[in-house]
Structure 1
Amino acid sequence: MNISDLISGGIGSQAISAIANKLGIDESKAKWIVAAAVPLMIAALNYNAKNKGQSEAIDKAIDQHSGGGILDKIGDLFSGNSSEEGNKIVSHIFGNNTETVTQNLADKAGLNSQQVGGVLATLAPIVMGYLGQQKQGASNGGGLGDLIGSVLGGGGASTGGGIGDLLGNVLGGNAATPEASSGQNVTDMLGNLAGEFFNKGNDSQGKGNILDNIAGMFGK
């Protein structure tokens, strides 16, 4: 499996259908939300993993979701109200940028921030559960950065393993990872886009365009 499964594969399809039904929106719009939000979450996790204190906290949270059981009840997750746990995960992922992420996704999707906040609170445990499942199945050791890099398609993590490697594989590894003309891999591309999104110098229109670019990378 790779990150496409979280967006357009079996897991993503269930989430998209559930979001569309719950919010009463077209599935294409629900898919855009998932295709923009999930990679942004992973990019933020990848950034946070560079901080030792945050890395340890994220790694522990992923271990708590390593059973993967949450992936078997995606429809049920969206049928209720957003969980307190989900909101906490979102806050840990985005920190002080949580409101910025929520509001810009809402503005671009034509929804209110409360609706998008509920979607994020439900997607976050799914992302953590997926990473936990991938980490559990990884054959190599390593840290959070390795796992995330792997899920994001970082091709260089062939020996280290860990969260960076795992995140590279989730995003598709070498076979499904498009490279920019400059030679950037998908991890670098997403990291740059996320960095621009969180740049306080960009206005809402600029942030909306960046979200479109992120969704375009993974929502095809």
Structure 2
Amino acid sequence: MSGLIDLLNGPLGKQLISGVAGETGQPESKTADVLGMAMPILLGAMKKNVSTTEGAQGLMSALSNKHNGSILDDLGGLFGGGVDQSVLEDGAGILGHLLGNKQTAVENALSQKSGMDTGSIAQILKLAAPIVMGFLGRQTAQSSVQDSSGMNALLGSMLGGQPEQNQSLITTLLDSDGDGSVLDDVAGMVLGGSKKKGGLGGMLGSFLGK
């Protein structure tokens, strides 16, 4: 069963990073950093959603009907000549569903952490969302996941089997009450800021060569 580390470190990851960098005009090293931080946040949001039966059924329906992993079969074609607008629109819809009113806060936090402008961050998230869904769809089929508990376990394994406290950091971000501290939460905890080392940022930094 593959996790995000396997995806980003493998041939598909290299294609993904190269393609997204070309699409946004950003350096591959920075693009890899942003993807390495953004993709666990998206999976964490999915993991939060599948805590309810309705959320799990909705996600599994989307995976079986549209996001079955076929997008991964030709990433070269996906990025060659520019990404089709329908893919970006699909990504925007996924982000709206997963992040809701936290999307801007996530974009700002990723921008602060990476030094990349928020416009490029938003573009990367739109590109990453359908690919993360496709990767999850393929893993779901290969693992024969059929219910919410199975989906919850699969998402946990794809996030790298991190300790429960790391999972709660993502939840803290997504459940912030909007009191203005969410950026501190993201930069300081989820993304591994200066106040708190380790966590997702530390884990991701280790395999991104930081």
Which string of whole-angstrom CA distances, capped at 9 and with x for unpartnered residues, describes residues 111-151 of structure 1? 23222111111111111111111111114x5423x3xxxxx
> In proportion to residue count, which structure has more helix?
2
**C-alpha separation in 2, matches of 1:190 and 1:72:** 31
Which structure would you say has the larger RCO, counting Cα contacts within 8 Å and 6 or more residues apart?
A: 2
Identity %: 29
TM-score normalized by structure 1?
0.75
Residue 163 of structure 1 corresponds to: 151
Q: In structure 2, what is the equivalent of residue 102 of structure 1?
A: 107
1:169 and 1:54 map into 2 onto residues whose CA distance is 19
Whole-angstrom distance in 1 between the partners of 2:47 and 2:163? 9
Q: How does 1:108-127 map to 2 (within 5 A)?
A: 108-127=113-132
Q: What is the aligned partner in structure 1 of residue 137 from structure 2?
A: 132
Match of 1:48 in 2: 49
Segments of 5+ residues of structure 1 without an aligned counterpart are: 147-161, 178-185
Q: 2:94 aligns with which of 89, 96, 111?
A: 89
Aligned residue number for residue 167 of structure 2: 191
Distance 1:89 1:203, change over 3 A: closer
CA offsets, 1:7-38, max 9 Å, x none? 32222222212222333333221111011100
Contact preservation (8 Å) 1:16, 1:31:
yes
Equivalence map 1:164-179=2 (5 Å) = 164-172=152-160, 177=161
The 1:187/1:88 distance shift into structure 2, 3 A limit, reads farther
TM-fit CA distance, 1:99: 1.5
Q: Would you say the 8 A contact 1:7–1:38 is kept in 2?
A: no
Amino acid at match of 1:132: G
CA–CA separation in structure 2 for the residues paired with 1:196 and 1:68: 29
| Partners of 2:16 and 2:57 in 1: CA distance | 28
Name the structure 2 match of 1:204: 183
Equivalent-residue separation in structure 1 for 2:172 and 2:151 (angstroms): 24
Q: Deviations over 1:158-209 (max 9, x none)?
A: xxxx21232233244xxxx4xxxxxxxx152332221333434525344223
- Per the alignment, residue 37 of structure 1 pairs with 38
| TM-score normalised by structure 2 residue count | 0.78
Question: 5+ unaligned residues in a row in structure 2: which ranges?
Answer: 193-198
Report the RMSD for the aligned CA atoms in angstroms: 2.3
Counting matched residue pairs gives: 191
SS at 1:89's partner residue?
Answer: helix
Q: Mean alpha-carbon deviation: is it higher for 203-212 or for 35-44?
A: 203-212
**SS in structure 2 at match of 1:111:** coil
Structure 1 pair 109–13 and aligned structure 2 pair: CA distance change class (3 A): same
Deviation at 1:42, TM superposition (A): 0.7
